[in-house]
Structure 1
Amino acid sequence: MASTALISNRNDVLAKDPEDDSKPRRLTYKNVEGPDKEILEKLYLYKNALIEVFPGSILIPPGFKEVGERILDLKVRQDDTWVISYPRTGSTWTQELVWLLGNNLNFEAAESIQHQRAPLLEMSALMSNEGDIMGFLDNFGNSVDIVDNMPSPRFIKTHLPWHLLPRQMETVKPKIIYVARNPKDMCVSYYHYCCLVHRMTGNSFEEFCNLFLRSRTPMGSFWEHVFQFWERRHEPNILFLKYEDMKRDLQKEIKNVANFMGMKISEEDVLRLEEYLSFGSMQKNPAVNLQPLMSTLRGNDYMGAQDRPNFIRKGKVGDWKNYMTPELATKFDKWIADNIHGTDLSFD
């Protein structure tokens, strides 16, 4: 489908209340029903693991009901910098680069957990399953409160689609850096992430892929998410990045992001950032690898267990070949071709 057929304006989705043209409609929620309910409960091992958010038909953990309206009403600041992506596209990697550029390459301060200095806006909702929510709130606080109370300039990350972001994004126009990734690699990484963070059963890869292809994994349609920002990529406050470009030439993309942020950077600093942001460095870095969070919520032995992946797992382009059958890869290829037909978006 052509991207113009997808959402080009948040008001196409956040429709007006028919009784009051000045009042945007609020969010509504419902439990997932039918065959998808059975599949999701089998994968996630507990009931009502995800709810459906309207408008947009987005699946997300149930804690989003507590923060969804607050996020829509959140005040956006002109000097904010937002890193936005569908999950598992390199956003943690990108956010670390963005935060360091915005904080004069303060590597010492970057030793603190990324979520505390550059929080994931909806993190409280993502950790809202029965076993995690109180532990998360007690140790890390409500993520929307954290963002709301941060001093400027703020560096914020989110995986929410455009129409679930604060309404003021449309008018205030803060800097937005969007990261996209080949959906075949992204889906493999997302599967492992859901096994790690959402306790999904680890023998359900093909079933997860089929849900993803039908937009029935958390955050909904991959294509609507991506095209909402691809269509805006020429706006001066938006930079659209691809994971594969960062892997191919990180130095070039470091300079690209620095230029977008209005930062002057020396060749020496580019090399320092390249080393700091290398896969080996990131995987071992407790400020970004989710080890402290998982240890706090689930014990010191939770991550790194034989049957459990690391949060920063492989960082490779083309790793889907090690997981997808030829039949599944063909199904993905057709799905990709159908959705980018008539657009100028492509993936390596």
Structure 2
Amino acid sequence: MSQAMEEGSATNSSSEAVSSEIHGVDLVSKLPTREGWPGPPLVLYKNYWLRPLYVATIMGLQNSGFKPRHDDIILATNPKCGTTWTKALIFAINNRFRYEFGSHPLLFRHPQELVPSIETPRDGNISYIEKLPSPRVLGTHMPPSLFPKSMVSDGFRVVYMCREPKDVFVSLWHFQKEIFKDNTTSLEAVFSMFSEGFSTFGPFWDHCLEYWRESIASPEKVLFLKYEDMISEPVKYVIRLAMFLGVPFSTKEEEDGIPEEVVRLCSFEKLSNLDANQTGEFTLSGNRVLKKSAFFRKGKVGDWVNHMSEEMGRKLDCIVEEKLKGSGLVF
């Protein structure tokens, strides 16, 4: 894609060299760690804080044989930025010629199942993704600088969804507590860490900036979206998404209200009340389980005011504004 992604590839090549130099010693165990969020300590890998499992998987992708296809669609997000909703929207848009709305897979299967993540494939086996028919829709939380070198390509398209950071923080705190069954870690305790850039796939602002710059350098390949804009005008952005993905709605489709049908099918109210998304569990690493319903908490814009003080909100606003200064990206 752009020079930034090519630089990411060079960095990845360097990590492979380092890995070979230590002759089998677990590289992940050598990385800086920090505790504080629910769950095991995060590790610092190429300027991002990650769960150790993600680091190992991302390293493994270098030699896994994973090959992007020219018609792949990659949905990239920082965690808790409307990922599940956007997966549903892109899946529905891209597959609208294959399924009737009344018997659509989204009515019976969780969006996280229909759109697998590159770094957390089903049963930890990347071969599952390789067998998916084209055009594939895949998710990732990786910033471009962590992409495996095989993904430095001019072929696939990337949709990046970001979200107002205060809402991201609150949603992430709730989600991490749910994953790790943690009822003791306070919001105040992790707020200071998030404000320092310490969170899963953080710093949050660095993640956003990488994709923001990619979208400016290659607007035909990277579409940068904001959750709040999508929520306020979903039909407008569904039409825009379809155009970007190369499957624009025809005049007849628009006259027949197909974009509105996609929005209704994928609405938070619709998805969150489906049995497929309310019952059952996902099995995570370490034999931990996560309720499927955990991916549907509120989805509200501005919910942070119910959990954070105005002073905390102002503090985070100032930090983010300073970190993004001069980039043209604002929240």
Q: TM-score range by the shorter chain?
A: 0.7 to 0.9
Q: Match of 2:224, SS?
A: strand
**Residue in structure 2 matched with residue 227 of structure 1 by the alignment:** 209
CA distance in 2, matches of 1:319, 1:290: 21
CA distance in 1, matches of 2:237, 2:50: 32
User: Are 1:277 and 2:266 counterparts?
Assistant: yes
Q: Match of 2:225, SS?
A: strand
1:102-158 CA-to-partner distances (Å, cap 9, x unmatched) read: 11252423323333331022236xxxxxxxxxxxxxxx5225332233232211011
Retained in 1: the 8 A contact 2:87–2:112?
no
User: Could you list the runs of 5+ residues in structure 1 that have no partner in the other structure?
Assistant: 1-6, 125-139
CA distance in 1, matches of 2:291, 2:67: 36
Counterpart of 2:193 in structure 1: which amino acid?
Answer: L
Counterpart of 2:258 in structure 1: which amino acid?
Answer: D
Q: Match of 1:191, SS?
A: helix
- Residues 216, 95 of structure 1: CA spacing in aligned structure 2 closer, same or farther, 3 A cutoff? same
- Residues 339, 52 of structure 1: CA spacing in aligned structure 2 closer, same or farther, 3 A cutoff? same
Task: Report the CA distance between 1:168 and its aligned residue.
Answer: 2.8
CA distance in 2, matches of 1:92, 1:115: 6
- Residues 171, 72 of structure 1: CA spacing in aligned structure 2 closer, same or farther, 3 A cutoff? same
User: Are 1:76 and 2:68 counterparts?
Assistant: yes
- Residues 312, 16 of structure 1: CA spacing in aligned structure 2 closer, same or farther, 3 A cutoff? closer
- Residues 253, 202 of structure 1: CA spacing in aligned structure 2 closer, same or farther, 3 A cutoff? farther
CA distance in 2, matches of 1:120, 1:273: 22
CA distance in 2, matches of 1:237, 1:81: 10
Select the residue among 292, 299, 322 that pairs with 2:280. Answer: 292
Tell me the percent identity: 25
**Residue in structure 2 matched with residue 190 of structure 1 by the alignment:** 172
1:273-331 CA-to-partner distances (Å, cap 9, x unmatched) read: 121122211211354x47422489778xx759xxxx84211111111111111221121
CA distance in 1, matches of 2:19, 2:275: 38
- Residues 322, 10 of structure 1: CA spacing in aligned structure 2 closer, same or farther, 3 A cutoff? farther
CA distance in 1, matches of 2:309, 2:266: 32
**Residue in structure 1 matched with residue 23 of structure 2 by the alignment:** none
**Residue in structure 1 matched with residue 84 of structure 2 by the alignment:** 92
CA distance in 2, matches of 1:170, 1:17: 12
User: Could you list the runs of 5+ residues in structure 2 that have no partner in the other structure?
Assistant: 21-26
- Residues 334, 193 of structure 1: CA spacing in aligned structure 2 closer, same or farther, 3 A cutoff? same
Residues 256-271 of structure 1 mapped to structure 2, 5 A cutoff: 256-265=240-249, 266-267=253-254, 268-271=257-260
**Residue in structure 2 matched with residue 113 of structure 1 by the alignment:** 110
Counterpart of 2:211 in structure 1: which amino acid?
Answer: F
User: Are 1:346 and 2:324 counterparts?
Assistant: no
Select the residue among 46, 59, 66 that pairs with 1:55. Answer: 46
CA distance in 2, matches of 1:203, 1:89: 22
Retained in 1: the 8 A contact 2:87–2:139?
yes
**Aligned-CA RMSD value:** 3.0
Higher alpha-carbon deviation: 77-86 or 202-211 = 202-211
**Residue in structure 2 matched with residue 156 of structure 1 by the alignment:** 138
CA distance in 1, matches of 2:318, 2:166: 12
Counterpart of 2:79 in structure 1: which amino acid?
Answer: P
Task: Report the CA distance between 1:201 and its aligned residue.
Answer: 3.1
Task: Report the CA distance between 1:228 and its aligned residue.
Answer: 0.7
Retained in 2: the 8 A contact 1:82–1:177?
yes
Higher alpha-carbon deviation: 181-190 or 216-225 = 216-225
Q: TM-score, normalised by structure 1?
A: 0.78
Q: Match of 2:329, SS?
A: coil
Counterpart of 1:92 in structure 2: which amino acid?
Answer: T
Q: Match of 2:215, SS?
A: coil
Question: How many residue pairs get matched?
Answer: 307
CA distance in 2, matches of 1:178, 1:294: 25
Task: Report the CA distance between 1:14 and its aligned residue.
Answer: 4.8
